[in-house]
Amino acid sequence: SVLGCRAPLPHWGESLRSNAPEATKEVREAMLPVWRSLPKNQYERLDWKSLRYMAHRYFMQRFAVLVRGLEPMRQVNSSHAGEAEILAEKVPDLAKQLLDAPRIAKGFSLEDAVAMVAALERLVFDSDSEMLEAVYRDRGHRTRDLVARGELQALLKDFVVHWIFGENDAEGVRSLLDDEAELEHTIPHWRLIAQMVEGSVLAAEFAKQRRPRPGDGRSAVAGLHSFEDALHITNGFGRGFASFWETTCQEIKASLVAMDSTRTGRVRLADFYGANMGGEWRFAESEAYLRELGALDESSPWRGKQVIIPNYLQAASNCIVTRPHYLVCCVNECEEILSDIEAEVGERMAQPGAL
């Protein structure tokens, strides 16, 4: 198999050594401010719920990616442990080790957290290998084929369309791939996305020429690319794709803020649905969905039910990419504010004056 993550992951605690030291260092540095701000037990360790929260914050802060199973609104109890679904599916032994009774009782160290998140990051961004294989087949290639720059760019553009729309609308995806004008009309900022894909291939070529991996020399000189090269490039899409959706996210936010007459960050549910009836196709989520999301404020008897704007913006329905194990969503603007506070305070408690 060409998917590296299909091989068993190292034993719990060894994942740190299996990841590139530079990447692991980045994970640790990114997680440290959140770690310092969270309450610890008598062993100076986190409980499971705090570890889940920490992992969720990491992916949202760095990539605007929501990992399925780590959603803050998901209930965690004796029946639902709330581990990332991709861990339970791909590496059940690791998920079992995470949730064994002695480990839960003692808690999780910073190194435990870094190891889990580093392994999870690798799994999440490697999880689309099968889709890439299917794109290769659709264009008449095998995964062992070497392809030229232009063909790789075409393959990766096809991949992005499949990636955004998923596997459930194969006919619609094929129709879009056959009609460039419709593609530009359907996917916001498609031309910029296509340029990003082309630039990613050029950057990969340059990197391979500068620092060739064993066995890359001949293909680098010939300007050819392997399936592993393509997979490496697609891994980068998930890490940076949210920026292409941010303009649309800001448009959604502006529409909601315009309806917020009280400037409380809330919109009356009646106004929310009224905008949908007036032609704003986005605002059609059910009350039950909004409630489950934590975006429905039902506390005010005189204002009635209200949609909480920042919580609504994080809804899965507003995410540009919806994959089986993760979603690429709107950037959470609250993350930057919270991160600044955590970095400055550096502790789990602070005096009001310091804040």
Tens of pLDDT, residues 153-182: 999 999 999 999 887 778 889 999 999 999
- pLDDT tier, 243 (very low <50, low <70, confident <90, very high otherwise): confident
- pLDDT tier, 353 (very low <50, low <70, confident <90, very high otherwise): confident
- For residue 222, the model assigns a pLDDT of 64
What's the whole-number mean pLDDT along residues 204-222? 71
Helices (H), the chain: 15-18, 21-37, 48-63, 85-90, 92-98, 101-106, 110-126, 129-138, 149-165, 170-177, 180-186, 190-210, 217-222, 227-240, 242-258, 269-277, 287-293, 309-313, 333-345
- For residue 7, the model assigns a pLDDT of 32
What's the whole-number mean pLDDT along residues 221-240? 88
Which is more confident, 183 or 167? Answer: 183
Q: Provide the b/e sequence for 32-57 (b: ≥16 CB within 10 Å).
A: bbbbebbebeeeebbbbebbbbbbbb
- Which of 15-19, 104-108, 228-232 reaches the highest mean pLDDT? 228-232
In angstroms, the CA 245 to CA 209 distance is 32
> What 3-state DSSP class applies to 304?
coil
- For residue 158, the model assigns a pLDDT of 96
Percent above pLDDT 90 for the chain: 51
In angstroms, the CA 73 to CA 141 distance is 42
Compute the mean pLDDT over every residue in the chain, rounded to the nearest whole number.
Answer: 85
Neighbours of 328 (CB within 10 A): 23
Domain borders along the chain are 4-126, 129-241, 243-319
Q: What amino acid is encoded at 56 in this protein?
A: H
- For residue 83, the model assigns a pLDDT of 67
Which is more confident, 70 or 168? Answer: 70
Tens of pLDDT, residues 293-352: 889 999 999 999 999 999 999 888 889 898 989 999 999 988 888 888 888 888 888 888
- pLDDT tier, 9 (very low <50, low <70, confident <90, very high otherwise): very low
- For residue 15, the model assigns a pLDDT of 36
Beta carbons within 8 Å of 226's beta carbon, 6+ residues apart? 146, 219
Least confident of 1-15, 118-132, 270-284: 1-15
Between strands 326-328 and 321-322, the pairing is antiparallel
